Amino acid sequence: MKQLDVVTFGEAMAMFMANHPGSLHEVSEFTRELAGAETNVAIGLARLGFGSGWASKVGNDAFGKFIINRLKNENVNIDHVLLDNKYPTGFQLKSMALTGDPEVQYFRKGSAASHLNEDDFNEEYFLEAKHLHMTGIPLAISEDARGFAKHALTFMKKNNRKVSLDPNLRPTLWASQEEMVREINEVACKADYVLPGLAEGEILTGFKNPSDIASFYLEKGVELVVIKLGPAGAFYKSATEEGTVLGFPVENVVDTVGAGDGFAVGVISGLLEGISIHDAVVRGNAIGSLAVQSPGDNDGYPTKEQLEKYIEKHSQGVK
């Protein structure tokens, strides 16, 4: 197995993207693709040349086999992907949006991934990685998956691995907002790097100002907070530095899904390489802007060479 730089875990789904605009119930033609915040990150890092692995369960069905084959083709390590003969792989339908966010309908309840539990955790596999990337989605989909997530976090921190968290809030998956905030913050305050969107940060901390949101986590021991500001770019703050990195102008936004995951790819890759926080955030903004210019969740993610050329051509610097 290629040395893993980053490991992540979560739920992947088959995604059927509408081939033409309109309400989902009116669309007759779809293109099958892969969906999943964590698989997006694994794919993005693999395209940049990192050893990335994804751990999960998929059903022993056509969708599960599709996910496995797709990740293999993207050079993502799947040695910790388990086949489940009892529970199915989830799927989703996504509309083609001409403006704004697309309509998405999920068919995921009781999926194989939601039955991933602490007993499935493979210590040797996770120890192969230098870094763990998490999102808040496994915390929401089931008690089993939440147990796996918390165990993974505790284990990796105990073994001196860095951990990043993208809250990736999914309010409809939680019993209440109070539970969501409590559970996400419990994990976020144990992570090294926290990467919320501005609206997510306000929900989780009660603060509107990016600096105050960042301070909420820094005061609890988090090393770095990077807050996505949409087209305006991103704000970052650590114990010793802070700044705002402007976004990359995009003339034609095709699909916003996957932009936040692409942002995480850029930031994580930069931190792994030891470049400055500012330059890592530039990478995040760059990949996020590339992501919104293509229809699939990760179609726009670049190779290392493509990323360097894009940044050189479009970089905006610090405000």
**Nearest-angstrom CA–CA distance, 235 and 229:** 7
Beta bridge partners of 312: none
Residue 200 DSSP code: H
CA distances from 223 to 45, 134, 236, 299 (A): 22, 16, 11, 31
Burial 65-76 (b: 16+ CB within 10 A, else e): ebbbebbeebbb
**Nearest-angstrom CA–CA distance, 74 and 301:** 12
**Nearest-angstrom CA–CA distance, 218 and 199:** 18
**Nearest-angstrom CA–CA distance, 80 and 12:** 14
Strand pairing category for 242-245 and 234-238: antiparallel
List Cβ neighbours of 31 (8 Å cut-off, separation of 6 or more). Answer: 16, 17, 19
**Nearest-angstrom CA–CA distance, 48 and 107:** 31
- At 178, which helix (H) or strand (E)? helix 177-188
Query: Which candidate in 5, 84, 192, 261 is catalytic?
Result: 261
The answer to whether residue 261 is catalytic is yes
In angstroms, the first-to-last Cα distance of the chain is: 43
193 and 224 in contact (C-beta within 8 Å)? yes
Give the pair of three-digit tokens for residue 128: 């192969």
Burial 281-300 (b: 16+ CB within 10 A, else e): bbbbbbbbbbbbbebbbbeb
Catalytic residue annotation? 261
